[in-house]
Structure 1
Amino acid sequence: MEGLEDRTYTADAEPGDHATVAGWVHEIRDLGGIAFLILRDTEGKIQVKFEKDEMDDDLVETGLNAARESVVSVTGAVEEEPRAPTGVEITPESVEVIAEADTELPLDPSGKVDADLSTRLDNRTLDLRKDEVQAIFEIRSEILRAAREAFRDANATEVTTPKIVATGTEGGTELFPITYFGEEAFMNQSPQLFKQLTAGSNLERVFEIGPIFRAEEHNTPRHLNEATSIDFEGAFCDHEDAMDVCESVVKSAYEAVSENCADQLETLGLAGEFEVPDDAFPRLTYEEAIEKINATGELDEQLVWGDDLPTEGEHALGQEMGRHYFITDWPSEIKPFYIKDHDDDEALSTGFDLMHPRMELVSGGQREHRYEQLIEGFEQQGLDPDEFAYYTDMFKYGMPPHAGWAIGAERLIMTLLDLDNIREAVLYPRDRQRLSP
């Protein structure tokens, strides 16, 4: 691999250069006396021209006998060629096959032959060589970068909380048990309790982007058993403040993709239709939401106070709203124990959800910061407060009012890019059927 320390990416190769490019054999076109090898790297593609009668036979044989997806390096003169895919081509002086690929590939990285999602996920490395798949994960990276920047603009500190815990965030359901030095432990469902404890320190505002684990029985295009959660918690914040931060982070993600991912949007066919939310997200109360859903006539039975919103109800409301919106003031009885009730009405919680027309994205609210009321919340939901002493004890030592939320990164990406299946937004998904790769 001599010369790769001076490697030139395909997008940077210009006429007049003497360059070494390296990547994968995307395609070989043999036209008789002349042939072309299309080399692909992370920046794009470049044409390598072989004039058979004017070149060394071994050089021609090495280049044209390389199987598709073999890793090669090519050194030679870069010349202008308007008919080439990128307007330039290389006349090779040397070709080295760095890693030969099998001639039988489990899927076609060029995309000319379709493969089903299961086959693609079984062979994710090959799948990621496709431009449109690579574009999704370049956009994902930009979304996470933008989220971090928005959090820092909100004066929040990035933290990392444990993923192995003694008790579940919301009790014993949907937990993955593991053996921890002979004792039972669990994979954490959420950083909820830890981010509250950390917000109760002098850090005040914190955020985390990290994995969560839920033993969901669901096996749908929008559920995962390992997901990436984007979490915020802020001391001296109420639920209105938390919604403001949430809206800012989501809008920042859209703005960053619009500004910095034009090529990727073009690759995905979204360049002309990608829209950045501009107006403030509407805030509907739970009562207003069920009234609107009932008015659509889409449900067989009318919703009544205290019902959770069924998927078909969310879809009907999403169609009517046509944009991101919050649902606020949920009934206390259907929100988790740590969500604070309104001071003037204990039947109403400060819980909120951020909805996309397709699905729920965010769950959040102001937290109960008063010790006695927190203990009552545990007991009302059939949880033993003693099992959560590491959490509840800290509320005896000056816990400020605080609020926060969490959004699933994959759901954000799925809705932002209008993907059909959430697994498209995960490198190596974990669901009911998939534990490898």
Structure 2
Amino acid sequence: MDDKIVLEDDLGNLRRSHYSFEISRKNVNEEVVVVGWISSKRDHGNVLFLQLRDQFGEVQIVVKKKETSLQLFKTLRNLKEHSSLAITGVVVEQKNSSSQIEILPKEIKILSISNKPPPFLTQAISSIGIDTRLDLRAIDLRRNYLQFVFKIRNTIINSIREYFNENYFIEVNTPKMIATATEGGAALFPIFYYDREAFLAQSPQLYKEQLTMAFESVFEIAPIFRAEPSRTNRHLSEAISIDAEKAYVDYRDMMEHLEKLIRHIVNRINSKNANELENLGIKLPNVSGSFPRITYTELINNLQANHKFIRWGDDISPKILKDIFSDEFFFITDWPASMKPFYVKSITPGNAQKESAIDEKNLLSESFDLMFGGLELSSGSTRINNKDLLIENMKKKGLNSTAFDYHLRVFDYAMPPHAGFGLGLERLVMALLKLENIRDATFYPRDIDRLTP
């Protein structure tokens, strides 16, 4: 090996020839260039074994003292994990090993040096607290466990786009700086917008409704912002929402779409991420059958029959739901209208299925929540498409309809009947992969206590 050792931040003209997964026995005796960071190192005295990791996996580098300059060998021996290298070397067959091949270096270029070891290792599940990990999130994300999680998350996002594209939905982008609260004014992040107050969007709701007038079927994958002072393991202040809206359908049609979407996602993960699932020890839920559906009223009646202290009109605790449904997908439908936002259509005797509106306080809505055990993943509904009814509902909810003029004015041009849903990406990842904390389903979590990194 050349005695020259280069310590620099610049690759120069050197470029990777192969990723780790592209090197196999068919490459034996070939010269390759591999680039990555040291995930582990074993010192056997006269031989160093370096595991060099790239985005797809690892390849073993064998550095022999007798074939290396003393300076270089000593430098490599002292290198800490996470240091980055570019290695030009020859692929050789590694006998009596499952890895099959290794690389004997001809030239090693040290690109960056790790100054100190991180406070946790890159093993499957760290015993270090999540706050310590999040303080060094980029290093935390190098752990195998989270590598598997985020590769599956990537499959989820790709399969969502695939499903919507196959079903004639158009991907849209809606404003994230808005003038008026979408959900009635609670849990908003105010911001300065030039000379006036604005807010970070809680939801693309009103914009995606308007876009059904132009495109009929739309979807968006984008951040939403909720200033909820929550410290639970299932709440974030910034999350990714998968939103869909479609004209000329109602909430039952959108439940069908949502169920098919979940089934498509699960099938894609099973086919594309078998290795990640095996390493995580996860078996995805069976989604071959239809998801159970129970109305809110039926659920309350069942709970009351089982001596649960709960009244009609109360929200239902996640713990109670998890005890009943365990880890499975199911819908709760026809919620009280009083519990839903102003744009949700009420069930009237003319369009009710099993239940009808008796009086104002018992009014039901054409709505649903998709649950996984005790975790709410999605909410959806048929929307009000009549301007007068929408204004009336705004007043009932204590909202000033004047503030929504930008939205109401389009209803003068015949807003079609429409329905939609919003699905939380992080909650879906959390449910499918049985994560204990939703913060491990997003790259850089934002919550009541965390604004960095």
TM-score range, shorter chain: over 0.9
Q: Which residue number corresponds to residue 108 of structure 2?
A: 95
Query: Are residues 27 and 112 of structure 1, via their aligned partners in 2, closer, same or farther at CA, if it must alter by over 3 Å?
Result: farther
| Residue pairs, 1:248-397, within 5 angstroms | 248-270=260-282, 273-297=283-307, 299=308, 301=309, 303-319=310-326, 322-344=327-349, 345-346=356-357, 347-397=363-413
Normalization by structure 2: what TM-score? 0.91
Shift of 1:2: 5.3
Q: Residues 10 and 45 of structure 1 are in contact (CA less than 8 Å); yes or no, is this contact kept in structure 2? A: yes
* Range that drifts further, 273-282 or 212-221: 273-282
Residue 169 (str. 1) matches residue 182 (str. 2): yes
SS class of match (2:331): strand
| Secondary structure of the corresponding residue to residue 138 of structure 1 | helix
Q: Which amino acid is the alignment partner of residue 290 of structure 1?
A: I
Residue 315 (structure 1) shift: 2.4
Could you tell me how far apart the structure 1 residues matched to 2:399 and 2:175 are?
Answer: 21
Q: Does the 8 Å contact 1:339/1:367 carry over to 2?
A: yes
Asked if structure 2 preserves the Cα contact closer than 8 Å seen for 1:175 and 1:186, the reply is yes
Q: Report the CA distance between 1:253 and its aligned residue.
A: 1.2
Instruction: Give 1:183's aligned residue.
Output: 196
Instruction: State the SS of the aligned residue for 2:324.
Output: helix
Structure 1 residues 33-432: aligned runs within 5 Å: 33-84=46-97, 86-110=99-123, 114-199=127-212, 201-270=213-282, 273-297=283-307, 299=308, 301=309, 303-319=310-326, 322-344=327-349, 345-346=356-357, 347-432=363-448
CA distance in 2, matches of 1:242, 1:409: 17
Greater mean alpha carbon deviation, residues 331-340 or residues 285-294: 285-294
- Secondary structure of 1:207's partner? strand
> 1:312–1:114: structure 2 CA closer, same or farther, 3 Å change rule?
closer
Q: CA deviation at 1:406?
A: 0.4
| 1:54/1:348 CA distance change after superposition, 3 Å | closer
170-179 or 288-297, which moves further after superposition? 288-297
Distance between the aligned counterparts of 2:268 and 2:196, measured in 1?
45
Distance 2:449 2:97 in 1: 44
The more displaced of 187-196 and 65-74 is: 65-74
Moved more, 156-165 or 23-32: 23-32
**1:371-421: CA deviation from partner (whole Å, max 9, x where unpaired):** 111111000000011110111121121011100010110000000101000
Q: 1:415 to 1:93 in 2, by over 3 A?
A: same
Question: Structure 1's 368 and 306: CA in aligned 2 closer, same or farther, altered over 3 A?
Answer: same
Percent identity of the aligned residues? 39
Residue aligning to 2:30: 17
**CA drift at 1:111:** 5.3
Equivalent-residue separation in structure 2 for 1:74 and 1:30 (angstroms): 18
Checking the alignment, whether the CA contact within 8 Å between 1:79 and 1:89 is kept in structure 2 is yes
Unaligned runs of 5+ in 2: 1-10, 350-355, 358-362
Map Cα deviations across residues 175-223 of structure 1 (whole Å, 9 max, x no partner).
0001111211100110011111111x23011111100001001110000
Q: How far does the alpha carbon of each residue in 1:58-101 deviate from its partner, in whole angstroms, 9 at most, with x for none?
A: 34234323221100111111111134562211111111110011
Contact 1:26 1:110 in 2 (8 A): no
Contact 1:108 1:114 (8 Å CA) reproduced: no
Given that 2:81 and 2:117 are in contact with CA atoms closer than 8 Å, whether structure 1 keeps it comes out as no
8 Å CA contact retained: 2:229, 2:448: yes
- How many pairs align? 429
Alpha carbon RMSD of aligned pairs, Å? 1.7
Q: Residue by residue, what CA displacement relative to the aligned partner does 1:228-258 show, whole Å, maximum 9, x if unpaired?
A: 0000110001111111111111111111111
Note if contact 1:76-1:91 (Cα within 8 Å) is conserved in structure 2: yes
Runs (4+) of structure 1 exceeding 4 A deviation are: 110-113
In the alignment, residue 408 of structure 2 is paired with which amino acid?
Answer: T
Which moved further from structure 2: 79-88 or 217-226? 79-88
